[in-house]
Structure 1
Amino acid sequence: MDRRRFLQGLTVTGAGLGLGGLTYTPVAPALAAARSTATMSALPPVRVPVADLPLRDYVPVTRFTSDDVDWHVVEDLRHADGVLILHNGNLACVFDKRTEPAYAEEGVPYLGMKLADIALAEADLLADRLLRHGEPDEQEVRGAAPPPASQLNPENYYGRLPWTTFVGTKQCADTMPVYTSGSTRGYHSDQVFADLHDPKRVARRREGVLGGWLPAVHKVVPIDEGRWYDVLVFADVDAHDRFVVQTWHRTALVEHGRISKVRYGYSYPACPPRREAPDAAAFYRALLRFHDYWQRELADASVATVPAPGWSEMARFAFARELVVRPGGDYPKYGAVDRDYYGNEYDGFQDTFTSSLYANLEWGRYAQAAAVLDEFFDDFIQPDGMINMRGAEIGQFGLTLSLMARYLRYTGDDALLRKHRGKIEATAQILLELHDESLALPRDHPGHGLIHGWNESDACLFPEPMLWWKPYYANSALAVRGLTDLAGVWPDLGATDAHTTAMQWQERAGTLRGQVERSLRANIRHDLTPPYVGPLPGAKLTFRESLTQEKPSEQQWPHRAYAELLQADILPDDLAHLVIDCMRGHGATSMGVVANVAPPSADGRDILGFISYGYAQQLLRLNRIDEYLLFLYAHRYHAHTPGSWTAGEVTDLSGGMPLFCIPAQMTIPLLVRWMLVFEDSAGQTLHLGRAIPRTWLESRKPIGIDKAPTRWGYTGFQLRATADGDIEGTVTLPQHAMPDAVWLSLRMPVGKRLSDIHLDGQPVPDTDRRGETVRLRGKPGQRIEIGGR
């Protein structure tokens, strides 16, 4: 449900369980070294040799001096995505420009179906159509519905200008919205070119970010052939105002390969004699510092190489945007700009914490992960384990415990967890106490032995919030995951009676796990097709029936309950498949992504941009790769604004502007990382390249990732197809320890298969092949040469 409509409505209605199976290998220095900003600031700036750049067709723009070095600005103005380069004769900063149309392109929307039919159907009709041939086509997914922010009606935003993106810095406590024309609240681009005030002209804009992933706004508004308005906006990284975001602007008219008119701006219109417009040299000098600032901030992230444009850049952009949203880089904010969700009542939202910690760990951003963890436990976890926020989500307590274990396994930083050990243990104790309460219920009670509690924070906003204090399966499932994972590392944190406590947690997790499975099997409705299981036991109606007939419904927010149940990964495969099939067949997915489930309406069927990554994770575990890729594509193109990549908490399929939230932004980094490197929940198996699209190998361009963290140490691989259609590449096994199994997937283009595979020149025995996957054997840190015919 749209957040503003939801709030308006309120005002009206008043893995394995054995300790021996879990490994722990420290792979990073202690917290003090990991969080050192001195190390980051000492890194040399990112530069490219000028000799490697084809500058022949570039137009000189201006020159400037920085730190006594002369710099030249040149730009390819033959087309709107031409590269901008700053160079000093020897070395250069390269700013790629790649924009996407912010409007619905020509074609029949919804793959020829009616939106009302898609919205009212229980089955996910768009997903069914997009998966009809197996692996979905990325461009077909992109065109399956109008992109977000392509249909903007101010009446839908209470008369306010609908911003589509924003800028800011790590040190500033606020952000600055940027509107469709490129204007901000302080600087108006239409004062330079009146055409930019025309909503019809601006509606045909293209949007992007500068430098591939840097948090700078680039907008292109076409005029006619060879002529366009070009707008650049970025935040001043040298400014240290507490709340005011100072911004740099370039608004230009490009005509037939030349800039015929340009105006540079800084934060506000000129107000002589005290405030004059900056010159070009000041703008590009600031752009150089902006480039170096952000390159240093993300220097520790793993580097992914993929042939399809935008994917690795989206991951890096998300981390830059997180720093922009978080005041000081670590204080949590759920949204940006508007009170919903920038108000302090959202700051302690558990999803903001868990999605950030998870994504930063998966990309090796240990310093940021440590800062986020430390800040959240300091300010938002109370000594008794309760969160400093209006409404708890019980499942997220379990996910928090699981992520504590992941943090320790990845970083080896026990000092930070020892600091917060009391609060971590108190968090676990909340789950144990809730489980005790459920065990006291009569054995014939549907919720006996299952943890009761809210699955959604918004339950606390209703007149009778305890209506939703129910035994949702996800509460218990994530408790099992959290207690199991934390028990595996708890003795390493030096707690009194740690081994005894860990064994008790394991025993309790086993009891809960068994009850979840028994209850779920007992509540399957085989009279429906596909078989149906609700988000909690004892429900007589499906969630759609309940939302329509029961006011209020105990099955509200079933999307969260299903996504978290699957993310916990405690169900046998047959039940996990059943839950996914139930969601797709009974109205809980939209274009292959978890739907934001509400009473069915012909007006639309919404995509849930945040928390839904748990569903995608289970698709990958179950090897439902085609569906995983559909989720990936649909999330990119229908949960993010095109080009500017502003992720929506909930997005509709009709092109409206969603409300931004940072957990939605952190989803693509997780999905891209897992498609390349993914480890199972039990800590036994490592998968490499498991969800690489088949078309990527066909491109003959390199695919891989370097320095990807795992519980066994850093790993990575590089693959590519040769001109002859063979496969070649390398894999670097985890540096500190070997899992029980390492599997490399070689997903060949449709119609092709590998006739033989060689590892370090030796053929792979049949016992080490499973279709397109190959088992890799070796020693920690070993480099293996891959060859396939």
Structure 2
Amino acid sequence: MDRRQFLAGGTAAAAIAPAAATLPLRPIGAAAALPVTDRFTVDGTAWQVREDWSTRDGLLALVRGDAAVLLPKRTEAMHATVQPPYLGLELKAIAMADADLLADALLAGGGDPDPARVRDAAPPSGSRFEADKLSARLGWTSFVGTRQAGDTMPVFPNGRTRGYRPEHVFPALEGDKGVVTRFEGLLGGWLPAVHKAIPIAEGGWYDLLVFADVDADDPLLVQTWHRTVRVEGGRPVEVHYGHSYAPFPPRRQNPDAAAFYRALLRLATVWQGELADLAPAALPDPALTDMVAHAFAKEIVVRPGGTYPKYGVVDRDYVGPEYDGFQDTFTSSVYANLEWGRFAQAKAVFDQYFDAFVGADGMVDMRGPEVAQFGLTLSLAARYLRYTGDVATIARVKGKLAATAQILAELHDASLALPAGERGHGLLHGWSESDACLHPDPSLWWKPYWNNSAWAVRGWRDIAGVWPAIGTAGEAADWSRRADRLQAHLVRRIRQEVRRDLTPAYLGPLPGAEGTWRQALATGKRSEQGWSHRVYAELLQADVLPADLANLVADCVRGHGGTCIGVTANFAPANDDHRDQLGFISYGHARALLRLDRIEEYLLFLHSHRFHSHSRGSWVAGEVSGITGDLPLFCIPAQLTVPLLVRWLMAIEDDEADRLDLGRGIPRAWFASGEAVTLNRAPTRWGRVDYTTRFDRAGRQATATIGFPARGPREARVRFRLPEGARPVSATVNGRRARLDSDTVVIDARAGGRFEVSVRTS
């Protein structure tokens, strides 16, 4: 592709700078009726604190004149609220079954799954753990931090940190066993500010706020602000403020209210600036847009300086430097930030990773490189270039990218040199999972897993499509030829390996696998079928299989023990007492469900990941999360899953065709609400796209307004997943009658411009 075409269709490199932070002021609105609880000044300007204490989710407003910084509260129960759990099913049956019994129950009868039923299908993650049984781990349930700090600060169930304890002022908060029943949330909906409400028997509650000091300049230490309130009868009867540590009078005193609220104002201002480039979205379920924003805020907190990679936080085994070069941390970040228009962050992460962790030979500075992730890296480099038009960033590392592509070519050539009768002939051998190299004999997992070849196909094809702008046409042609040859062989071999004697039909994770993966793991011996969850998720994500095979793989995963409440399961031997979700590499599985038009399953995946792969309210995402209330280990790739799922249900590109799908996965309930679904300035390979849709039940009309750049896709498919009982009967585009394909209107948007789409319903 010609370099000028990129710069005309995307965003020039010089334009990808983050916006400056400004006060996030809004009209005061309903906050004007709230009582004034405190006052403070900033640079001589008077501010009021107005707060609703009639409910634990009351609004907090920082008011200046007739404008305010509005900080809503929304808490969720961090304890089981429905009995019996598991929709009345037995845990042993759920754990042992090949079928995903909870998913089957939630999808029974057809139609979209009910988010409330999905939420209540299992106890909240982290709600039933016992800290004294965590071995060397600390029993923290959330954490706070800043961009500039090199570390994070854990927050425990009762609101304490490693430096400050609320039980110093309220002894009833001592320890965590007394706060099992509690509600948690984030101030402002998404800010990295932990809000807890711990009920008191008399009907009131302890209300706690904890957030990091955004102006502290300690290189590693995270300074924290605290407010602890006893609420009775709908009013605060005792309030205490703290900063980082217990007081040491007379030298160190607790801060006053004014200092706390100045710090809170700074928190809101700084974080609003950090996410100023996030593509604006509005949904009937605002918690999902808040989850998107919070995920990106958490990523900045987790990464020292906002960009240096860390896989986890606090716990040494996940935050240690030996994990910093983990490919999944890089690829999940670049992918999610690109999809939400955060080009500056994507560029910073890309530059930092290629400079610090990718060698001139394409190898990554990380134990156990994963073959499929090399292909995903190439694909994301191409996506970055298509979205941003930033040729300079990709051209600067073109040697390393070419070397990455060559790693896959070397593995491909080695497989072609094998005898034609060998099971792995023509398929890329190598580690699929990084952890393989930790075992005494890692060669057990140096095998021709399907995902290795699938992502080589996708990576070569995508990078070849943009390579003429930065490299040679000869290299691009070679990669394209390899992709076509390998894809044809991969599809042929998969068809040969399908076991149709099982129901549903079964495909093992690699050719020649003996038995199913569950049978292999049940032996208790190390098996080449270990970590098969990664194989299936990445095979589906690469999107190189014909639809019939992709559907077969999705059916195989769900029907042979591979999902948990609709989310990719953590593959382990069947057992009596647990079944776990895999939170951190499963987004590719979900993407395939959407692409295959398995919308109900896609929505179940989204809701289940939200409620069971995240802690409630404070939204800490687990790498692997059980369904018994145990405490999972956080990892940032898991946190970046919901942003991808929310983006795709509104707007998703086809990997091969010149096509953009809009509204493909919107829940029917959102249309039934009559509220608008909006995604503005959504990045695509054609440029930024604006999209708004809604349904007017009284007027029996669904509408969508779409704005394309000067060059749009050949085909934009606008879908209207109408409420049950509403049937589309006719459609118009810009006032002219248009063809209606079931619930979808197809637009030729190659000339760009604005389109008004309307569908009349019966």
TM-score (norm 1): 0.94
Following TM superposition, the consecutive aligned residue runs of length 4 or more in structure 1 with deviations greater than 6 angstroms are: none
Q: How far has the Cα of 1:754 moved from its partner?
A: 2.0
Whether the aligned pair in 1 keeps the contact of 2:52 and 2:60 (CA below 8 Å) is yes
Deviation per residue, 1:618-664 (Å, 9 max, x gap):
00111000000000010000000000000000001101110000000
- Aligned equivalent of 1:110: 86
Alignment CA distance shift 1:631-1:731 (3 Å): same
- Aligned equivalent of 2:740: 769
C-alpha separation between the residues in 2 aligned to 1:607 and 1:723?
Answer: 38
Is there any run of 5+ residues in structure 1 with no aligned partner, and where?
1-18
- Aligned equivalent of 1:10: none
The yes-or-no answer on 1:480 pairing with 2:457 is yes
Secondary structure of the equivalent of 2:757?
strand
- Aligned equivalent of 1:62: 38
Secondary structure of the equivalent of 1:55?
helix
Match of 1:643 among 612, 617, 631: 617
The yes-or-no answer on 1:328 pairing with 2:305 is yes
Q: Which aligned pairs between 1:464-613 and structure 2 lie closer than 5 A?
A: 464-493=441-470, 495=471, 498-549=472-523, 551-613=525-587
Match of 1:172 among 146, 149, 156: 149
Whether the aligned pair in 2 keeps the contact of 1:705 and 1:718 (CA below 8 Å) is yes
- Letter matched to residue 81 of structure 2: E
Is there any run of 5+ residues in structure 2 with no aligned partner, and where?
none
Whether the aligned pair in 2 keeps the contact of 1:252 and 1:259 (CA below 8 Å) is yes
C-alpha separation between the residues in 1 aligned to 2:536 and 2:733?
Answer: 41
Match of 2:388 among 411, 427, 452: 411
- Letter matched to residue 642 of structure 2: I
- Aligned equivalent of 2:230: 253
- Aligned equivalent of 1:96: 72
- Aligned equivalent of 1:150: 127
- Aligned equivalent of 1:454: 431
Q: How far has the Cα of 1:196 moved from its partner?
A: 1.3
Alignment CA distance shift 1:772-1:654 (3 Å): same
Q: How far has the Cα of 1:195 moved from its partner?
A: 1.5
- Aligned equivalent of 2:361: 384
Q: How far has the Cα of 1:712 moved from its partner?
A: 0.5
The yes-or-no answer on 1:223 pairing with 2:200 is yes
Q: Which aligned pairs between 1:160-309 and structure 2 lie closer than 5 A?
A: 160-197=137-174, 199-224=176-201, 226-309=203-286
The yes-or-no answer on 1:75 pairing with 2:51 is yes
Q: How far has the Cα of 1:205 moved from its partner?
A: 0.5
Q: How far has the Cα of 1:727 moved from its partner?
A: 3.4
Q: How far has the Cα of 1:147 moved from its partner?
A: 1.0
Secondary structure of the equivalent of 2:163?
coil
Q: How far has the Cα of 1:417 moved from its partner?
A: 0.7
The yes-or-no answer on 1:85 pairing with 2:61 is yes
Secondary structure of the equivalent of 2:729?
coil
Secondary structure of the equivalent of 1:775?
strand
C-alpha separation between the residues in 1 aligned to 2:107 and 2:684?
Answer: 32
Match of 1:399 among 353, 376, 385: 376
Deviation per residue, 1:757-780 (Å, 9 max, x gap):
23222332xxx3221111123464
Q: How far has the Cα of 1:360 moved from its partner?
A: 0.1
Q: Which aligned pairs between 1:418-457 and structure 2 lie closer than 5 A?
A: 418-457=395-434
- Letter matched to residue 156 of structure 1: K
- Letter matched to residue 458 of structure 2: R
Whether the aligned pair in 2 keeps the contact of 1:613 and 1:671 (CA below 8 Å) is yes
C-alpha separation between the residues in 2 aligned to 1:677 and 1:439?
Answer: 39
The yes-or-no answer on 1:45 pairing with 2:23 is yes
C-alpha separation between the residues in 2 aligned to 1:64 and 1:27?
Answer: 48
Please say which of residues 743-752 and 627-636 is displaced more in the overlay: 743-752
- Letter matched to residue 265 of structure 1: G
- Letter matched to residue 84 of structure 1: L
- Letter matched to residue 526 of structure 1: R
- Aligned equivalent of 1:6: none
- Letter matched to residue 711 of structure 2: A
C-alpha separation between the residues in 1 aligned to 2:167 and 2:752?
Answer: 57
Secondary structure of the equivalent of 1:756?
strand
C-alpha separation between the residues in 1 aligned to 2:329 and 2:315?
Answer: 17
Q: Aligned Cα RMSD in Å?
A: 1.5
Deviation per residue, 1:433-470 (Å, 9 max, x gap):
01010000000000000000000000010000111000
C-alpha separation between the residues in 1 aligned to 2:7 and 2:548?
Answer: 32
Please say which of residues 729-738 and 280-289 is displaced more in the overlay: 729-738
Q: How far has the Cα of 1:223 moved from its partner?
A: 1.1
C-alpha separation between the residues in 1 aligned to 2:714 and 2:749?
Answer: 11
Q: How far has the Cα of 1:391 moved from its partner?
A: 1.0
- Letter matched to residue 357 of structure 1: V
Please say which of residues 301-310 and 80-89 is displaced more in the overlay: 301-310
Q: How far has the Cα of 1:723 moved from its partner?
A: 5.2
- Letter matched to residue 179 of structure 2: V
Secondary structure of the equivalent of 1:709?
strand
Secondary structure of the equivalent of 2:238?
strand
Deviation per residue, 1:361-411 (Å, 9 max, x gap):
000000000000000000110110000011100000000000000000000
Whether the aligned pair in 2 keeps the contact of 1:678 and 1:688 (CA below 8 Å) is yes
Deviation per residue, 1:689-713 (Å, 9 max, x gap):
1101001111111112111000001
Whether the aligned pair in 2 keeps the contact of 1:25 and 1:409 (CA below 8 Å) is no
- Aligned equivalent of 1:129: 105
Whether the aligned pair in 1 keeps the contact of 2:714 and 2:750 (CA below 8 Å) is no
Q: How far has the Cα of 1:255 moved from its partner?
A: 1.4
Q: How far has the Cα of 1:731 moved from its partner?
A: 2.3
C-alpha separation between the residues in 1 aligned to 2:192 and 2:649?
Answer: 25
C-alpha separation between the residues in 2 aligned to 1:733 and 1:68?
Answer: 44
Match of 1:657 among 627, 631, 642: 631
TM-score (norm 2): 0.97
Alignment CA distance shift 1:723-1:256 (3 Å): farther
C-alpha separation between the residues in 1 aligned to 2:749 and 2:324?
Answer: 46
- Aligned equivalent of 1:740: 714
Q: How far has the Cα of 1:259 moved from its partner?
A: 1.0
Secondary structure of the equivalent of 1:403?
helix
Whether the aligned pair in 1 keeps the contact of 2:716 and 2:749 (CA below 8 Å) is no
Whether the aligned pair in 2 keeps the contact of 1:401 and 1:483 (CA below 8 Å) is yes
Alignment CA distance shift 1:648-1:273 (3 Å): same
C-alpha separation between the residues in 2 aligned to 1:28 and 1:213?
Answer: 29
C-alpha separation between the residues in 2 aligned to 1:198 and 1:659?
Answer: 21
Please say which of residues 769-778 and 339-348 is displaced more in the overlay: 769-778
- Aligned equivalent of 1:31: 13
Whether the aligned pair in 1 keeps the contact of 2:195 and 2:208 (CA below 8 Å) is yes
- Aligned equivalent of 1:7: none
C-alpha separation between the residues in 1 aligned to 2:524 and 2:63?
Answer: 65
Q: How far has the Cα of 1:119 moved from its partner?
A: 0.7
Whether the aligned pair in 1 keeps the contact of 2:448 and 2:511 (CA below 8 Å) is yes
The yes-or-no answer on 1:684 pairing with 2:658 is yes
Identity level (%):
54
Please say which of residues 194-203 and 380-389 is displaced more in the overlay: 194-203
Matched residue pairs, number? 757
Please say which of residues 755-764 and 387-396 is displaced more in the overlay: 755-764
Deviation per residue, 1:251-292 (Å, 9 max, x gap):
001112221101000000111111110000000001101101
